[in-house]
């Protein structure tokens, strides 16, 4: 329940459920704490997340693991507090893993910090040298900042290393049937009408003077 509320940005409900759980005498474990920190991150509740990060140790005696640090780094990064996220990593009692560095790298994508991103990628690749997603994240960050040559250089690097990114995929249910859509994939049979709807939406956006994000592509 707590994790579900958190994923949908319902932080108050997640915190309320947690309080009800503890009042009923059910003590939280490390997984529960991850769910709370994640809920605070998705809702941008920095003060609550920081407070709980301390409470989990002081009140519940839970030892922090990499996932807890990763959640707080993500929380700080989403709020634009990248410097504080870096300081948190530097103060960790153990060497951060790729999960923690990845959270910081994602923060750079949100805030556009290419200098920090470059240093972070070096750390991540030292731990996960074959993870193509890290290269793609840096490439997209360069592109968002207009550094097209650097973006292309990183993508060429992934091809040279023979790395491939698993295409993202989403599913929808319509009239008791499931349809799968993947990046750069083909549409399922009979779904060509999707492009008709997309074109209609695009025309409506154009008439409303809504500027599309050119960094996000819709590929046939």
Could you read off the pLDDT of 86-130 as tens digits, one per residue?
Answer: 899 989 999 888 788 878 877 776 665 555 666 666 666 555 555
CA–CA gap between residue 26 and residue 32 (Å, rounded): 11
Residue ranges per structural domain of the chain: 169-209
What is the DSSP track for 56-78? HHHTT-PPP-HHHHHHHHHHHHH
Q: At a CB cut-off of 8 Å and minimum separation 6, what does 167 contact?
A: 182, 183, 184, 185
pLDDT in tens, 41-88: 999 999 999 999 999 999 999 999 999 999 999 999 888 888 898 899
User: 56 near 62, Cβ under 8 Å?
Assistant: yes
Q: Say if residue 25 is exposed, middle or buried (CB neighbours under 10 Å; 0-12, 13-18, 19+).
A: exposed
pLDDT tens figures, 123-136: 665 555 556 666 77
């Amino acid at each position: 329940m707590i994790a579900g509320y958190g994923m949908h940005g319902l932080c108050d409900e997640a915190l309320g459920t947690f309080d009800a759980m503890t009042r009923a005498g059910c003590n939280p474990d490390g997984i529960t704490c991850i769910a709370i920190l994640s809920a605070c991150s998705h809702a941008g509740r920095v003060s609550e997340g920081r407070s709980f990060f301390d409470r989990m140790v002081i009140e519940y005696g839970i030892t922090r693991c990499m996932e807890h640090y990763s959640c707080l780094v993500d929380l700080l990064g989403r709020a634009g507090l990248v410097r504080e996220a870096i300081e948190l990593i530097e103060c960790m009692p153990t060497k951060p893993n790729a999960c923690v560095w990845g959270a910081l790298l994602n923060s750079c994508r949100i805030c556009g910090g290419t200098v920090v991103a470059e240093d972070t990628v070096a750390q991540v690749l030292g731990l996960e040298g074959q993870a193509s997603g890290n290269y793609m994240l840096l490439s997209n960050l360069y592109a968002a900042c207009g550094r097209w040559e650097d973006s292309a250089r990183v993508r060429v690097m992934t091809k040279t290393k023979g790395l491939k990114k698993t295409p993202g995929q989403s599913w929808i249910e319509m009239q008791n049937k499931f349809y799968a859509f993947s990046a750069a994939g083909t549409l399922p049979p009979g779904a060509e009408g999707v492009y008709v709807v997309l074109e209609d939406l695009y025309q409506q956006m154009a008439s409303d003077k809504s500027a599309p994000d050119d960094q996000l592509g819709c590929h046939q």
